[in-house]
Chains A and B, each alone.
Chain A
Amino acid sequence: GAGVSQTPSNKVTEKGKYVELRCDPISGHTALYWYRQSLGQGPEFLIYFQGTGAADDSGLPNDRFFAVRPEGSVSTLKIQRTERGDSAVYLCASSLIPGANVLTFGAGSRLTVL
Chain B
Amino acid sequence: GQQLNQSPQSMFIQEGEDVSMNCTSSSIFNTWLWYKQDPGEGPVLLIALYKAGELTSNGRLTAQFGITRKDSFLNISASIPSDVGIYFCAGPISGGSNYKLTFGKGTLLTVNP
Contact = CB atoms under 8 A, between A and B. Distances in A.
B105 A42 contact: yes
Contact of A4 (B42, B48, B91): B42
A56 B103 CA distance: 18
B100 interface: yes
A18 to B, nearest CB: 24
A103 to B, nearest CB: 7
Interface residues of A, number: 27
A65 interface: no
Interface residues of B, number: 24
Contact of A48 (B41, B91, B99): B99
Interface stretch (A67-75, A78-86, A104-112): A104-112
Interface string B66-110: 000000000000000000000010111000011111111110000
A11 to B, nearest CB: 14
Contacts of B40: 107-108
A42 B102 CA distance: 8
B98 A44 contact: no
Given A42-B88, A42-B90, A42-B106, A105 B101 contact: no
Contacts of B43: 43, 91, 105
Nearest to B33: A101
A103 B44 CA distance: 9
A93 interface: yes
Contacts of A42: 4, 88, 90, 103-106
7 contacts: A33-B99, A35-B101, A56-B99, A91-B42, A102-B45, A105-B42, A105-B43
Interface of A: 4, 31, 33, 35, 40-45, 48, 56, 58-59, 91, 93, 95, 99-108
